[in-house]
Structures are given as structure tokens and as C-alpha cells.
Amino acid sequence: MSVIELEGVVKRYQSGEEVIEALKGVDFHADRGEMVTVIGPSGSGKSTMLNMIGLLDTPTEGTVRLDGRDVTDFTEDQLTEERRSTIGFVFQAFHLLPMLTATENVELPSMWDTKRDRHDRAVDLLQRVGLGDRLSHTPSQLSGGQQQRVAIARALINEPEILLADEPTGNLDQDTGRTILEELTRLKEEENIAIVAVTHDEQFVEYTDRVVRLVDGEVQS
């Protein structure tokens, strides 16, 4: 069973007088242990699609299933709970909090969960992405590649089923981007998670199990 599934998803935006159709009936699925790359030019609807998969936005038409459950009509609070427990995010611009150390940034998604102490897992994850000696550094003391590794560790803190990466190598040079991709591939297997990456970086293709090409809001087969 697919961890995440989009079925006939349509997303329309009202932009002034105009109605923009960003997604025109997209079918998509991702399974545990696989890395799927969504490639497409800008304006193809990649980000909109990622927002649907990440439960950050709801479709105008169609169905979104998480672990086989229909979550299309979930309220914002229900979606927040699902994001917290099943989905990890990695962003192009890292989006680490500048006043927190690497460890605290990794703990952030579980911080309000006072019943469980995630400190040990945070340290473990940082060690696994090669930052065992940077635990107390703040983002400004880390390089771009290191920051993105912290962001990956943060995405994994709550033991998600899906890791979503929005242009994870977009702000990095080619070599650093390559190490990040290797890191993701390794963690995909170690944690047995589905990784969905959105990019226009063709470098991804050699690391992924499956490529989905999106053009003008439609999947090209």
C-alpha cells in the first residue's frame, strides 16, 4: 500500500479575475523505501503538488490518501497532527531557526511534545548525517551543506513515513548537492521511508528510483 496517494487532484487558484489551474488532475503515489523525484520546469505545478503531498494545502478536486486513509477533508488541526507524526520537510532555503543550536533545531518539531524526550534521537541523527561535532553550533556557524543536513535530521526526528524535499540542493553547489543526495538515499533505506523530492536538477535522476515529470500541471508518462 502506498504511503501517500494523489488521485485526480485538481488545484485552482483565484488570481484576481483569472482562475489559474495549477494541477489538472494529477495521479501520484509513493511507497516506503523509494525515492521519487518530481521534475518539471518552474510554473509546472511542482510546488503545488508538493504542498498537496505534504498536507499543507487541500485540493480543489480529487482525493489525497495517507496510508490508505482519505485525508482530503481533514481540518487544519487534523492535518497538523498528520504532518507532525508522518511527514518530514526539507526546504530549499533550509529554514533553520537562527537562535537555536543544531540539536535544538533538530528537536524543534518534537519540542512541544513534552511527554517524550527526543534529545537522544536528535544527537543520534546529527551523528548519522556527519555532524556529531557540530551539535551546539548555531546555523550561522554552519556551511550550507551542513545546514541542510541539520534540516534533514530535523525532518526525521518524529520518525515520519514520508520525507518531502523541495529543491533540497537548490542553494548548494554541485558537489555538496551530491553528498546531500547520497545522504538522503542512505537514510531512505535506514529509516524505511518514502522520499519525494521536487527539483529541476537533473542530477537527481541517478539517485532516484522513479522520476515523475510534471508539465503544465499534468504528469507526463
**Interface positions with another protein (CB under 8 A):** 51, 54, 56-57, 76-77, 80-81, 83-85, 87-89, 91, 95, 97-100, 108-109, 111-112, 114, 154-155, 158
**Minimum distance of another protein from residue 83's CB (angstroms):** 4
CB nearer to another protein: pick between 40 and 160: 160
CB nearer to another protein: pick between 93 and 205: 93
CB nearer to another protein: pick between 18 and 77: 77
CB nearer to another protein: pick between 15 and 114: 114
**Minimum distance of another protein from residue 204's CB (angstroms):** 21
Question: What is the torsional sign of CA 182, 185, 191, 194?
Answer: positive
The torsion region of residue 152 among left (phi > 0), alpha (psi -120 to 50) and beta comes to: alpha
**Minimum distance of another protein from residue 100's CB (angstroms):** 7
**Minimum distance of another protein from residue 200's CB (angstroms):** 18
CB nearer to another protein: pick between 85 and 127: 85
**Minimum distance of another protein from residue 155's CB (angstroms):** 8
